[in-house]
Structure 1
């Protein structure tokens, strides 16, 4: 029944890339990026959970950049796997921060879910409708 739908695999990946990448740019990354040093420090303090208590502004800025630029790369399918890995790390840190703060599972679940999507992206690749495929013939 669903056997013939597998021929649309790459279209499904493209639709997913556009939706998830847009979410990272508009809802998460860009808002953090324009938040400035005060906002960056707030997010960068999450690194204290890993014993890294220096340069919180830098770490927060890197989280904002990884979500904004990473979202663009996810949409384009350019450097797709490295972008997915970078966002995975950002989401892992975010999930751990929520967990360490004692936040309810409803708040911790989102970064965990997004981290799982990034792992999926890392393994399946960007598909044939991507810049990676056009340049290097990799999915």
Structure 2
């Protein structure tokens, strides 16, 4: 069942190239957010929001793992659907918990990432990914 979940679906060549562009592009954008958080954490700043009540430091670490670690996996196309789950969860928290009471303009960035991640989750990583080679 796990193999079926991770296996990319067959798409036309133009769609595969489009998914590659989307996957790498959105991951590079998110990587900048994750890298900033990772740098801050490594420099000793461990203060962070605790939007779901699991503690500031754990929230910080999980956000770094999602925004930085999962973005790297997504760029490579390695365990793509599994890597998208923490990214989707993080964007849901950012959009609807952290910015819940804010106007839509404050949520728009997180919602844009969320919609892209959901699209990639449903399409898979495409032909130009490590997953495609692993699950032939």
TM-score (norm 2): 0.82
User: How far is 1:23 from its partner?
Assistant: 0.8
CA contact (8 A) 1:10 1:128 kept: yes
Tell me the equivalent position of 2:91. 91
SS of equivalent to 1:46 = coil
Residue 135 of structure 1 aligns with which residue?
134
Structure 1 position 127, deviation (Å): 0.4
Q: 1:73 and 2:73 equivalent?
A: yes
Greater relative contact order (Cα < 8 A, sep 6+) = 2
* Residue of 19, 22, 25 corresponding to 1:19: 25
The answer to whether the aligner puts 1:35 opposite 2:40 as a matched pair is yes
Counterpart position of 1:122: 121
Contiguous gaps of at least 5 residues in structure 1: 1-5
SS in 2 for 1:126: coil
- Alpha carbons 1:95, 1:111 under 8 Å: kept: yes
Q: Name the Cα RMSD after superposition.
A: 1.5
Offset, 1:103: 2.2
**TM-score, scaled to structure 1:** 0.81
Stretches of structure 2 lacking an aligned partner (at least 5 in a row): 1-11
Aligned to 1:3: none
Cα distance in 2 for residues equivalent to 1:106 and 1:30: 24
